[in-house]
């Protein structure tokens, strides 16, 4: 075994973080934890993972879970599309594979939402397959170890993948992958790396040449896209309830919450309301929100309706949304909203309508 790898595994054996899915190898737990951990910090993932597994202990429970429960269990983790794909994957495993989990990297790649990174993590941890996981942490470690600058291009990433595959020990591929990621997350950090505690210090070229901060080079930033949106709050004042819809189009498509309208659609709404004894109230305050490279400037559009099942349905249908899927009381609204954008809009509404 490469001496570097030996030191890394020894370090991992003594310093790995105690995580609920590491206590014993369980394919379902590993899969759920890997999907949850993509783009979400561990401090948020751990309690959500425990709650998820408690409520949906098997792949069968996940496959048949209703959308409302799934949305609740995923709330706070962000990127709800991951939860939808996870459930689609569970349904595929139950219906097409009769509850048997895929057994290799290539089989995992066929599961919805399971990309190269997730498939490699599950295959190496659960099936001891020698396949490298290359994420941002691993790229940073290798870039510094080998003083590599070309790490963001396709060829650069293939070179890193090939290097990690070449040093991966055949007996402990899962531990090796987790050790590399753990080292990147806790020691070889983006800023202020703890080189004095690093098991790889002696082999690290960037450390030897005193140029750690130069690696990896900065990524060229993707240009931000500015978006203007209105969160439409349809309020039935008599019962103090609010219409939730399944967003079938536009921004945050497929999620449940308030309809999100472009300024053009708000003008359309104003013409719809013109023929009804109703008015729209647009909040003057705006709030900003960022999702990946989208910078959203949002405001609230409020419509009060007196009849839930006729007027509200008509308005939403004319705007291209399906009928409200739920009328939710004021006290339960925040807890039921899955996206931060919706929550910010509702808090703004509350401040103005106590």
* Euclidean distance between CA atoms 140 and 61, whole angstroms: 38
- Please give the residues from 277 up to 296 whose contact with ligand SF4 meets the rule CB under 6 A: none
Q: Which of 102, 193 has the CB closer to ligand SF4?
A: 193
Question: Contact between 187 and ligand SF4 (CB under 6 A)?
Answer: yes
Per CB under 6 A, the list member of 83, 121, 126, 141 interacting with ligand SF4 is: 141
Q: Which of 187, 234 has the CB closer to ligand SF4?
A: 187
Catalytic residue among 6, 34, 95, 182: 34
Per CB under 6 A, the list member of 38, 55, 91, 201 interacting with ligand SF4 is: 201
Left if phi > 0, otherwise alpha if psi is -120 to 50, otherwise beta: which for 315? alpha
Neighbour count for residue 8 (Cβ, 10 Å)? 25
Tokens 């099942």 locate to 309
Is the four-CA dihedral 263, 264, 267, 269 of positive or negative sign? negative
Question: Contact between 193 and ligand SF4 (CB under 6 A)?
Answer: yes
- Please give the residues from 205 up to 224 whose contact with ligand SF4 meets the rule CB under 6 A: 206-207, 212
Question: Contact between 145 and ligand SF4 (CB under 6 A)?
Answer: yes
Q: Which of 149, 310 has the CB closer to ligand SF4?
A: 149
Could you tell me which stretch among 163-171, 195-203, 228-236, 318-326 binds ligand SF4 (CB under 6 A)? Answer: 195-203
| Beta carbon of residue 10, minimum distance to ligand SF4 (angstroms, whole number) | 15
Could you tell me which stretch among 194-202, 223-231, 287-295, 298-306 binds ligand SF4 (CB under 6 A)? Answer: 194-202
* Euclidean distance between CA atoms 299 and 261, whole angstroms: 10
Question: Contact between 84 and ligand SF4 (CB under 6 A)?
Answer: no
Residues near ligand SF4 (CB under 6 A), total: 14
Left if phi > 0, otherwise alpha if psi is -120 to 50, otherwise beta: which for 95? alpha
Q: Are 231 and 164 in contact (CB under 8 A)?
A: no
Q: Are 328 and 258 in contact (CB under 8 A)?
A: no
Q: Which of 135, 268 has the CB closer to ligand SF4?
A: 135
Q: Which helix (H) or strand (E) holds 108?
A: helix 105-108
Per CB under 6 A, the list member of 46, 62, 138, 188 interacting with ligand SF4 is: 188
Known catalytic residue: 6? Answer: no
The gap between the terminal CA atoms of the chain, to the nearest Å, is 66
Q: By C-alpha distance, which of 219, 217, 188, 227 is closest to 204?
A: 188
Question: Contact between 195 and ligand SF4 (CB under 6 A)?
Answer: yes
Is the four-CA dihedral 178, 179, 184, 186 of positive or negative sign? positive
Residues that bind ligand SF4 (CB under 6 A): 141, 144-145, 187-188, 193, 195, 198, 200-201, 204, 206-207, 212
- Annotated catalytic sites, by residue? 34
């Amino acid at each position: 075994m490469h001496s570097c790898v030996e030191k890394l595994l020894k370090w991992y054996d003594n310093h790995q973080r105690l995580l609920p899915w590491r206590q014993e190898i369980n394919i379902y737990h590993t899969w759920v934890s890997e999907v949850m951990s993509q783009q979400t910090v561990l401090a948020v993932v751990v309690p959500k993972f425990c709650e998820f597994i408690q409520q949906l202990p098997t792949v069968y429970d996940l496959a048949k879970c209703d959308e409302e429960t799934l949305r609740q269990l995923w709330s706070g983790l962000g990127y709800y599309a991951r939860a939808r794909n996870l459930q689609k994957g569970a349904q595929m495993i139950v219906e097409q594979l009769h509850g048997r989990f895929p057994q290799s990297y290539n089989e995992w790649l066929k599961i919805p939402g399971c990309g190269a990174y997730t498939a490699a993590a599950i295959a190496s941890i659960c099936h001891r397959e020698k396949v490298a996981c290359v994420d941002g942490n691993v790229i940073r470690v290798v870039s510094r170890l080998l003083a590599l600058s070309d790490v963001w291009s396709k060829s650069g990433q293939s070179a890193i993948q090939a290097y990690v595959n070449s040093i991966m020990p055949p007996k402990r591929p899962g531990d090796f992958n987790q050790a590399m990621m753990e080292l990147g997350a806790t020691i070889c950090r983006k800023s202020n790396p703890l080189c004095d505690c690093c098991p790889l210090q002696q082999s690290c070229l960037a450390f030897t040449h005193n140029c750690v901060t130069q690696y990896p080079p900065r990524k060229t930033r993707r240009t931000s896209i500015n978006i203007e949106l209105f969160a439409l709050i349809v309020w039935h004042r008599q019962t103090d309830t609010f219409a939730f819809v399944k967003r079938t189009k536009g921004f945050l498509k497929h999620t449940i919450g308030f309809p999100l309208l472009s300024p053009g659609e708000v003008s359309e709404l104003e013409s719809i309301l013109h023929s009804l004894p109703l008015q729209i109230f647009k909040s003057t305050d705006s709030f900003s929100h960022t999702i990946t490279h989208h910078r959203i400037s949002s405001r609230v559009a409020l419509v009060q309706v007196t009849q839930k099942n006729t007027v509200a349905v008509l308005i939403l249908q004319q705007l291209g949304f399906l009928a409200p899927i739920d009328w939710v009381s004021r006290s339960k609204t925040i807890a039921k909203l899955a996206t931060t954008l919706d929550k910010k809009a509702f808090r703004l509404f509350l401040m103005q309508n106590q």
